[in-house]
Amino acid sequence: MSAPVVQGWCPGAHRPMMSGDGLVVRVRPRLARLSAEQTRGLCELAEQFGNGTIDLTNRANLQLRGVKEDDHQALLAELAGLNLLDAEPGIEVRRNILVSPLYRSGDRTAQLTQELIDRLEELPTLPAKFGFAIDTGPKRLLAADSADIRVEAGTDGLILRADGAKTGCRVTETNAIDRLIALAGWFSERFTPETRRMARVAATQDLPAEWQGSAPGGIGTPPQPGVCDLGALYGAAFGQLPARQLLDLVTNSGATALRVTPWRLILLEGGAAIQAPDFVIDGTDPLMTTDACPGAPFCPQAQVETRDVARILAAQIPGSLHVSGCAKGCARMGPANVTLVGNDGRFDLVKNGRAGDEPSQRGLTPETLMTMDLT
Ligand code: SF4
C-alpha cells in the first residue's frame, strides 16, 4: 500500500482540489447560513455540475464533488450569481470562520462574525488551515471544534483565547476583533512550516501574559436532530447531503434558510420537522457517530469503497466505528473502537486505535466483515 499523500492547503471555490471523481469545490457560507433560495440554487448546481451530493465538512463548509475541470468557471459564475462566492480569492481563503450556529439575527455572535468578515483583509499572512471560532452564545458549543483563535463566552464576560491556552484575555464587543487581529499578528510572526497552527506555536513559545488570565465559560449540550427554537435540525450521515432530497426538504418544511454546523447537522431555520428518510432524525442513530471518508471511487488514494460498508456495520457495532479508504484516516483523526482501513482492495482491522495504527488483522473482505465479531 502506498503512503497517503498529505495535502498542504484547503480547497476553496476559486482553488478547488482534484479528487478521484473530479474537482472538489468548497463553498464557505457566510455566518454559516444560506437563504432558502441560495440552498435550492446550490442543490441544483450539485446536480448540474457535481455528483448530486453536497458534503458538509467538519468546518461547516459545503462541498460539491465530481465537478469537471471544464465546468469550473461556469460553476464559479453560478455561485457568484447566488452570492456564495468571494470575488477576491485571497479573502475566500481567509474566511475560515466557525460560528456557533444557534445565534439569532443581530445578536453579538452575528455582529462579531460580520465584523470579522468585513475586516478579513486586515489579517496578516496566515497558513491556509488557520481558522477562527466565534462562540459567544450563553454556553460554548465549539470548544471541541478546530480553530486557532476563539472569541468565546468566559466565566465573566467575553474572552479572546489562543487555541491550546487554558485561559484567554478579556475583550469587549467593541474591541474583540481588534484584539483578534493583533493575536493573529503575534502568531504570524512566529509560525514555521512545522508549526502552522496556534496550539503548536503557543505550546513552544511563551504566550504573552496579555493574552491570558480569564477562564472560558461552561460548555453547552451539543444540539441533536429534532425541533429547536430556531427551526428543525436534521443529521447528515457521514456529512453527506443528497442534493435533490435537501432541496425537497427545504421546500416542504417551509424553511426560510439553512444553517450549517460542524457536527453533521443542518438547521432548517423556521422549518418544520417533517418526514425525511434520507436524513438522520434520531440523535441515537449510530450513523451519527460512524465515520467514513468518501473512499473509492471518489478519492484517488482510496483502496476500498467505504460508505456502503459503514452503513451496514454501523448498527452491528457497539461503540464507535471508522471506515477509512486508506491509512490517512481523513474522516476521523482520533481513535475509534473499531477502525477498518482500506488496503489493496481489502480491510485491515484496528481495535481502539487510529487508521494509521498497527492492525490486529489484515486482508479482510467486506463479506468477512459482515459475519465476523468485530468487537
Ligand atoms: S482517508 Fe479516505 S479521503 Fe482520506 S486520503 Fe484516504 S481514501 Fe482519501
The ranges assigned to domains in the chain are: 17-87+227-269, 103-211, 286-371
Those residues of the chain that have pLDDT short of 50 are 1-6
Query: Residue 235: is it exposed, middle or buried by C-beta count within 10 angstroms (0-12/13-18/19+)?
Result: buried
Atom of ligand 1 nearest to the CA of 325: 7
Spatial distance between the Cα atoms of 187 and 219, rounded to a whole number of angstroms? 26
Q: Is residue 325 in contact with ligand 1, taking CB distance under 6 Å? A: yes
Decide the pairing of beta strands 226-228 and 22-27.
Answer: unpaired
Q: Is residue 239 in contact with ligand 1, taking CB distance under 6 Å? A: no
| The predicted structure's pLDDT at residue 1 | 44
Q: Is residue 329 in contact with ligand 1, taking CB distance under 6 Å? A: yes
User: Which one, of 177, 198, 176, lies nearest residue 187 by Cα?
Assistant: 198
Spatial distance between the Cα atoms of 211 and 191, rounded to a whole number of angstroms? 17
pLDDT digits 0-9 by tens, 102-117: 999 999 999 999 999 9
Spatial distance between the Cα atoms of 162 and 15, rounded to a whole number of angstroms? 28
Q: Is residue 328 in contact with ligand 1, taking CB distance under 6 Å? A: yes
Alpha carbon of 283 to ligand 1 centroid (Å) = 26
Q: Could you tell me the CATH superfamily of domain 17-87+227-269?
A: Sulfite Reductase Hemoprotein;Domain 2 (3.90.480.10)
Q: Is residue 302 in contact with ligand 1, taking CB distance under 6 Å? A: yes
Pocket test for ligand 1, best of 301, 304, 339, 357 (most atoms within 8 A of CB): 301
Q: Is residue 293 in contact with ligand 1, taking CB distance under 6 Å? A: yes
* Angle subtended at Cα 21 by Cα 18 and Cα 27, rounded to the nearest 5 degrees: 60
Residue nearest to atom 4 of ligand 1 (CA): 330
Angle at which helices 108-118 and 176-188 pack, to 10 degrees?
A: 50
Q: Is residue 324 in contact with ligand 1, taking CB distance under 6 Å? A: yes
DSSP helix/strand/coil, 103: coil
Alpha carbon of 294 to ligand 1 centroid (Å) = 7
pLDDT digits 0-9 by tens, 55-89: 999 999 999 999 999 999 999 999 999 999 988 88
| The predicted structure's pLDDT at residue 43 | 98
* Angle subtended at Cα 292 by Cα 286 and Cα 296, rounded to the nearest 5 degrees: 140
For 286-371, give the CATH class. Answer: alpha beta
Q: Is residue 332 in contact with ligand 1, taking CB distance under 6 Å? A: no
